[in-house]
């Protein structure tokens, strides 16, 4: 072979923008089946769980790999209740945050502060990580509720330990105890948000902890990732869109105009579901009951027309963020807190993924396809 012959280049590996369709690891935590339009947590269908289980049961399932018996359930709930407290310096720090701070920034920073007051942060053993996960699951609702009320000039509402996990958050946020129907529906939304494969925030948490960083650092990474409107912020934007539509009769024309002018319709489409998001189907059913019970059918009727038009015109189904948007609004929950509520649910899934990652760790370090120039000669500054 001639000495001037070009060196053979290795065959380029397939590249998928956004890593779409790329298998990045294994998990026993959740399974998304697009063809069957189903989502399972450790083998249990979310519809079955949402109809029969509490959020606490599902959190236990994620962390321990099985549903709890009566004794295990009480012990777990008692552990969550015992951790419904924040260190005094963290509460004082929340009071110094600007009123204009994004709620997810407050949640992210508050979580980072909690790491300073948890003696087990450096301990990455399985059992220590489960204990830390329980503490964070209990404390994130306090961070979200306290920081929101402080930003509104309202006093902090202390936890009511007689209430369930979800009902207590609603109480701390709104200052009123929810009725049983509202508490149950809120639990259903939390269960729907618990986990969803290697979504962006979960993957961020696994990447962080694959370096043998700690669980708190992984959760901080996840919260920062969830903040983005293409992930956790979609439910906020979906509600803002619905609020622009004056009544159900105006919905079809509004969406047709939005599509014609290339306006982004948030809360629709999902990379993992081409035939419909089972969480959206489930929550739309529950939303109708809520709107009928509260005399606010305007929102259900408007949302249904929006969904029908999007399916007819674009063959795009709603994802979980669309029904949760108007469910939370009808419940009277402030729009800026929608994404932190996503985090309050997903903390159980994030933590389980961090634990799974560290139990079978391999550093996550993918390859990259370089597309820039090569062998560029340096030019002295005076000659540029």
- Own/partner pairs, 76-81, CB within 8 angstroms, 24+ separation: 76/134, 77/164, 77/165, 79/134, 79/138, 80/56, 80/134, 80/137, 80/138, 80/165, 81/138, 81/159, 81/161
How far is it, in rounded angstroms, from Cα 136 to Cα 166? 14
Query: How many whole angstroms separate alpha carbon 300 and alpha carbon 97?
Result: 36
270 has catalytic annotation: yes
Q: Which position among 148, 270, 317, 353 bears the catalytic label?
A: 270
Number of CB atoms found within 10 A of residue 98's CB: 9
Give yes or no: 45 in active site.
Answer: no
Helix axes 165-174, 180-193, angle to 10 degrees: 110
- How far CA 297 is from CA of 123, 146, 194, 252, 327, in Å, comes to 51, 31, 28, 17, 11
Alpha carbon 66 to chain centroid, angstroms: 22
Instruction: Say if residues 355 and 129 touch (Cβ distance below 8 Å).
Output: yes
Q: Which two tokens stand for residue 267?
A: 């809360």
Write out the catalytic residue numbers: 270, 321
């Amino acid at each position: 072979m001639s000495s001037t012959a070009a060196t053979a280049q290795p065959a380029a590996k397939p590249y998928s923008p956004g890593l779409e369709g790329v298998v990045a690891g294994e998990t026993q935590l959740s399974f998304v089946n697009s063809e069957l339009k189903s989502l399972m947590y450790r083998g249990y269908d979310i519809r079955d769980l949402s109809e029969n289980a509490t959020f606490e049961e599902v959190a236990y399932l994620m962390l321990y790999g099985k549903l709890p018996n009566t004794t295990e359930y009480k012990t777990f709930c008692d552990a969550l209740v015992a951790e419904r407290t924040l260190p005094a310096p963290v509460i004082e720090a929340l009071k110094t945050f600007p009123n204009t701070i994004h709620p997810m920034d407050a949640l992210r920073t508050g979580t980072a502060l909690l790491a300073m007051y948890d003696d087990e942060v450096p301990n990455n053993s399985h059992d220590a990580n489960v204990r830390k996960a329980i503490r964070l699951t209990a404390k994130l609702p306090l961070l979200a509720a306290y920081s929101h009320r402080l930003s509104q000039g309202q006093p902090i509402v202390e936890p009511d330990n007689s209430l369930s996990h979800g009902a207590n958050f609603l109480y701390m946020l709104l200052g009123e105890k929810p009725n049983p129907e509202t508490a149950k529906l809120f639990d259903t939304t939390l269960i729907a948000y618990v986990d969803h494969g290697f979504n962006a925030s979960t993957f961020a948490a696994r990447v962080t902890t694959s370096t043998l960083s700690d669980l708190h650092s992984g959760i901080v990474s996840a919260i920062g990732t969830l903040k983005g409107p293409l992930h956790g912020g979609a439910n906020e934007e979906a509600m803002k869109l619905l609020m622009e539509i004056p009544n159900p009769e105006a919905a079809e024309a509004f969406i047709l105009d939005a599509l014609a002018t290339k306006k982004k319709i948030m809360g629709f489409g999902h990379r993992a579901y081409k035939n419909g998001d089972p969480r959206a189907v489930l929550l739309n059913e529950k939303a109708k009951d809520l709107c009928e019970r509260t005399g606010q059918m305007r929102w259900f009727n408007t949302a249904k027309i929006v969904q029908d038009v999007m399916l007819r015109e674009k063959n795009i189904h709603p994802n979980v963020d669309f029904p949760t948007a108007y469910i939370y609004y009808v419940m009277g929950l402030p729009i800026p807190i929608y994404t932190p509520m996503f985090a309050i649910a997903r903390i159980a899934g994030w933590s389980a993924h961090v634990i799974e990652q560290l139990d079978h760790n391999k550093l996550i370090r993918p390859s990259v396809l370089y597309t820039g120039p090569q062998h560029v000669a340096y030019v002295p500054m005076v000659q540029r």
